[in-house]
Structure 1
């Protein structure tokens, strides 16, 4: 009887315990997103449905990148998630926003419907400054060039992420932190919409960060955060499985040990390293 009980317990522990994920699985999922291919964790594709699996893109032509981070989550139940976070100015939508890309085996994928087509993706957007606020603060004086995507010098505060914050119109302060204010057809050296987001990223980056609740909108609430990485080496030409950054990330997720983050390559994820928002 005792022998049978022991065998039963061993059977239960072996088969009922959540299967542990591997570094290879994590790197495979990152490679799929890198190549824009949905994984087996996406819901079964239905007729007429389009699925998107996005990876962090610091050189998007329609998105003037400011800040970016990587969040790592895992638990003992076999669930893991990598969440890429970036913020900036969406120049085709006249909106400043946070973009969150989710990769893992427990993602609650975003679902939307436009023009009778269903879209499923691993991405969520959080508005920082909406179009109405940009219309309010946009310069109203001067020629067409001076009034397009420039902030009026009389503006005192701007609503960002549901709070009003002071606006600094002094272009010299922006240039001190590496932001070049356009001077062509901009005699007053007015601050541009994208310049504003990059400036806050330099002087008050937490203002632009997603909250923990916002980040967890598409992953299980019980997932434990292992760490947040805000400085890393980024290369959009090499598969993640071949890069130091993501190999370390996979090891951290499997072990739950953030001390494995010991990069050798210099970090280059700052917006000044990449050309974005230029289309």
Structure 2
């Protein structure tokens, strides 16, 4: 592919991303309604088609309980069967109550039931640590100790369960329904400040990704800026 020319250009890609960002249909990592937890970026393409998928895992407190524990897949491309960006079909919900009972107490903050010590992630029963020292050791500050909110648990449990919160490869392909080779996948990158009116076309990461897709040469991705997509870099997420 590096020796052939794609039918689309870097500018085509960045123009679509900018248009979506202008409509706030692009990942805003400090969304005031969502406590960010983790994210991932996947890039697919060939000489005729390109797809970029950005997963944003977090707790959306305007939804209740497990309905707020979501992985939103933002999908962009030049041959999609739907409008680029986010839609209801591309939101994954992977948690549920265990046999112990209701995980949540029923408030909008996603406070966990102090009497229930487990939950399901992808049907796997996992324990919920209740000791504040566990969270402190993982640099997660509890907002209202000793109460624990679900996004605090999610952040603290990333070393063990990040993979479970994110999509499996088949789920990603099911969203855009095209047999395209995966060119690259990033767990860390420098993300644009969409709320601060920065456009993807002004952002080093997406400029380089567009160049990779246009050329088919993944070696063109050579970031110079430090990754900022970690939840700790977006303190206004969930602040409304």
- Which structure ranks higher in relative contact order (CA pairs < 8 Å, sequence separation ≥ 6)? 2
Match of 2:102 in 1: 136
Please state how far the C-alpha of 1:207 moved relative to its aligned partner.
1.7
CA distance in 1, matches of 2:230, 2:130: 23
Larger Rg: 1
Name the Cα RMSD after superposition. 2.8
User: 1:158 touches 1:167 (CA, 8 Å); kept in 2?
Assistant: yes
Look up the SS of the partner of 2:80 in the other structure. Answer: coil
* TM-score, length basis structure 2: 0.84
Please state how far the C-alpha of 1:224 moved relative to its aligned partner.
0.8
Q: 1:18 to 1:269 in 2, by over 3 A?
A: closer
Match of 1:7 in 2: none
1:177 aligns with 2:138: yes
1:112-151 → structure 2 map (5 Å cutoff): 122-123=86-87, 124-129=90-95, 136-139=102-105, 149-151=110-112
Aligned length: 228
CA distance in 2, matches of 1:164, 1:213: 22
1:55-134 → structure 2 map (5 Å cutoff): 55-76=26-47, 78-94=48-64, 95-109=68-82, 122-123=86-87, 124-129=90-95
1:221-260 → structure 2 map (5 Å cutoff): 221-236=178-193, 237-260=197-220
User: 1:109 touches 1:218 (CA, 8 Å); kept in 2?
Assistant: no
Match of 1:159 in 2: 120
Superposed CA deviations along residues 42-98 of structure 1, whole A, max 9, x for unmatched, are xxxxxxxxxxx710110111111100111100023x010111101011111022010
Please list every run of 5 or more consecutive structure 2 residues that lacks an aligned counterpart in the other structure.
none
Please list every run of 5 or more consecutive structure 1 residues that lacks an aligned counterpart in the other structure.
1-16, 37-52, 111-119
User: 1:139 touches 1:148 (CA, 8 Å); kept in 2?
Assistant: no
User: 2:6 touches 2:215 (CA, 8 Å); kept in 1?
Assistant: no
CA distance in 2, matches of 1:30, 1:121: 9
Please state how far the C-alpha of 1:148 moved relative to its aligned partner.
6.4
Look up the SS of the partner of 2:140 in the other structure. Answer: coil
Match of 2:18 in 1: 31
CA distance in 1, matches of 2:5, 2:96: 43
Superposed CA deviations along residues 213-252 of structure 1, whole A, max 9, x for unmatched, are 1111232331111111111112223211122111100111
